[in-house]
Amino acid sequence: MAAEAEAAREARAKVIAAEGEQKASRALREASEVIGDSPAALQLRYLQTLNTISAEKNSTIVFPLPIDMLTYFMKAKE
């Protein structure tokens, strides 16, 4: 009987986790639509992320650069 109760709890936990993943996926999709509509939103999110990273006192920060910016420099090098 205890094994059945444990199995039932695990099954409920899996359902709850799946529902959470589904909600998170929807939220990410909505966020991508907002960011896609406004390039400034992406820049603000990037700055917010940098602010969060700097508060954690990490020593490494990666600055992503647009690929077209890199190709410009590669052409200038030739």
Give pLDDT tens digits for 39-76.
788 888 888 888 888 887 777 777 777 777 777 777 76
pLDDT of residue 32: 86
pTM of the predicted model over 0.75: no
Q: Identify each DSSP E strand in 1-78 by its residue range.
A: none
Give the integer Cα–Cα distance in Å for 55 and 51. Answer: 6
What 3-state class would DSSP assign to 60? coil
User: How does residue 16 score in pLDDT terms, banded at 50, 70 and 90?
Assistant: very high
Taking the C-alpha atoms of residue 6 and residue 48, their distance in angstroms, rounded to an integer, is 42
First to last CA, the chain: 75
Owner of token pair 């940098």: 50
